[in-house]
Amino acid sequence: MKTYQKEFIEFAIERGVLKFGEFTLKSGRTSPYFFNAGLFNKGSDLAKLGRFYAAALKDSGIDFDVLFGPAYKGIPIASATAVALFDHFQTDTPYCFNRKEKKDHGEGGNLVGSPLEGRVMLVDDVITAGTAIRESMDIVEQNGAQLAGVLIALDRQEKGKGELSAIQEVERDFNAQVIAIVSLNDVIEYLKDDEQFKAHLPAVEAYRAQYGVA
């Protein structure tokens, strides 16, 4: 695990974004941990979050032309990442997002910001079974753009419809790399060394054994 990844887990725990307990997921699975990115809800959180996303992008080395943040949770992520890329990595990157409601007056259309064209880096919070991300992918395809990659905060490394992880399925179906600031394996590694949260390790490992990818 890299330093920025460990710092990201600490940051998520400190802000109550990463929690341990019992949670029901969108997929119906009962999970011993949950990542609620909506709790990054202060100016300082957003500034830091942008820096972590930008660091993961730079670390990946993937080339792209535009950041796309799907509504709603992708919007502040794309904005904060674009700011961080400029402020901390000297890269001025176009970004855009969609609205969920179609607008038929004024400028019309359902995209806001830079045109969605060229190689698109899609940013979002979490992928579990891949449902939300596939809807966003449709928007990229409908605009005739190509997907350069997907960047999320947490890869839960869970099985999708079959034996592959939801992310492996997305990579196969869209021929693009999915990168994450941290993955479940990083969270488990972190728990092993953390006196305060170590007690949750068995439940998280049991969950990985049941739903995780080999």
Dist. CA 129–CA 149, nearest whole Å: 17
CA–CA separation, 158 vs 178, rounded Å?
14
The length of the chain in residues reads 214
Please name the residue that has the structure tokens 């502040």: 76
CB of 110 to ligand OMP, least distance (A): 19
Question: If binding is defined by CB under 6 A, does position 25 make contact with ligand OMP?
Answer: yes
Indicate whether 49 belongs to the interface with ligand OMP (CB under 6 A). no
With contacts defined by CB under 6 A, name the span among 43-51, 77-85, 121-129, 191-199 that binds ligand OMP: 121-129
Binding mask 149-178 for ligand OMP (x = CB under 6 A): -----------------x------------
Q: Give catalytic status of residue 105 as yes or no.
A: yes
Q: Where are the beta strands (DSSP E) in the chain?
A: 18-24, 30-35, 66-69, 95-103, 109-113, 119-123, 126-127, 146-155, 177-183
Among 26, 42, 99, 172, binds ligand OMP (CB under 6 A): 26
Query: What is the closest distance, in whole angstroms, from the C-beta atom of residue 63 to ligand OMP in the complex?
Result: 25
Spatial distance between the Cα atoms of 160 and 103, rounded to a whole number of angstroms: 34
By beta-carbon proximity to ligand OMP, the closer residue of 21 and 115 is 21
The answer to the question of residue 123 lying near ligand OMP (CB under 6 A) is: no
Query: Which of 103, 161, 192, 200 is flagged as catalytic?
Result: 103
Place of tokens 């997305």: 170
Minimum CB distance to ligand OMP smaller for 54 or for 127: 127
Examine residue 8 and tell whether it contacts ligand OMP (CB under 6 A). no
Query: Which are the contacts of 89, defined by CB distance < 8 A and separation ≥ 6?
Result: 54, 58
Q: How far is the CB of 88 from ligand OMP (least distance, A)?
A: 26
Rounded Cα–Cα distance for residues 174 and 146 (Å): 9
* Interface residues toward ligand OMP, by CB under 6 A: 25-27, 34-36, 125-133, 166
